[in-house]
Structure 1
């Protein structure tokens, strides 16, 4: 039997039905606190429960397109957002409707706007990651994996620059690390480490328009460099202790 004959007689109904969805963990920093975007479900299952934004992929749509669409529906943003695939979740009982495999995505951006609920949600809001409601499906597990991915990636990639604007100070970058890692960092040591990593940041040759709150000197402005991996890595304080 050649391929044409095989496909002509192929019946997908002979196999159990499986659907594919995407779920997006969108993170931003608001008021010095790491926040995640959640939507309130407007239909069963888990009616009224908060969940990560997501939905079924559409015909002719690939996974990356579906994730970008879901994020755009809730935030209106399609650019200045770093988005990457996180993991897949396919436990047989993760969704009461049918066998559904979810491919999760992780998204970061500075100054994301107030969210707008999509067609299948009654509300959308930013929640501080340390003050979350009970989430639908297995979204607490997905969010936990996403937070650990974000914290780890700050160690060995320039991901922190996705949380700041095109031009930033070293202090602003340090606050990103402190917020995501949840620990204070020594300002002087952090400054030296950042500038010792080739390609992490580069000077714009500009400074802030004014000094700090105490009237200090104006701070130098930097932009993201061309590095894709940080060497040496910027380890979390607890990881530095483990290595020692």
Structure 2
């Protein structure tokens, strides 16, 4: 029995203990303001985004998550801001996040009320960089400084 359990446990570890792929979007309105969401779980502001679903590519996931969390339409994907993979970046699980700039437009509407409390557009100087969820401060700082990051 012990001989069977060890390879089974190893196989389960290989299959189930993998980082989850997600995306975060830096939504830029036509007036240059950046849109942030207020998370229900922590009350902190952060970037819209989430997990890439099975059978979905990153641009499609970004478009879907943006619509669910903000009601906004993704007009075009701008530059890749970075790929963030530190195991501690998300307190819930190990998630690798692809951060993208996106040109967006539309009216705010929250469809995912279980996760999102509020949506707000911020002028660059008004973004609460000292108090954002996860590693979104780093992602926004990298975006604002024009970096493309592998972290």
TM-based fold match above 0.5 = yes
1:92 and 1:38, CA in 2 relative to 1: closer, same or farther beyond 3 A?
Answer: same
**Does the alignment pair 1:89 with 2:84?**
yes
SS at match of 2:138: helix
* Rg larger for: 1
- Select which of 104, 116, 134 maps to 2:109: 116
TM-score, normalised to structure 2, is 0.76
Contact 1:94 1:137 in 2 (8 A): yes
Contact 1:115 1:126 in 2 (8 A): no
2: distance between equivalents of 1:138 and 1:38?
Answer: 14
2: distance between equivalents of 1:54 and 1:19?
Answer: 13
Give the alignment's Cα RMSD to 1 decimal: 2.2
Cα deviation, residue 71, structure 1:
2.2
SS at match of 1:107: strand
Query: Which aligned runs of 4 or more in structure 1 are off by greater than 6 angstroms?
Result: none
Higher relative contact order, structure no. (Cα contacts within 8 Å, ≥ 6 residues apart): 2
Residue-by-residue CA offset, 1:72-105 (whole Å, 9 max, x unaligned): 3323414xx2213321001121111121110111
Residue-by-residue CA offset, 1:138-190 (whole Å, 9 max, x unaligned): 1011112222339xxxxxxxxxxxxxxxxxxxxxxxxxxxxxxxxxxxxxxxx
2: distance between equivalents of 1:28 and 1:76?
Answer: 9
Aligned residues: 131
TM-score, normalised to structure 1, is 0.49
**Paired position in structure 2 for 1:40:** 38
**Paired position in structure 2 for 1:127:** 122
**Paired position in structure 2 for 1:57:** 52
2: distance between equivalents of 1:118 and 1:86?
Answer: 26
Bigger strand share: 2
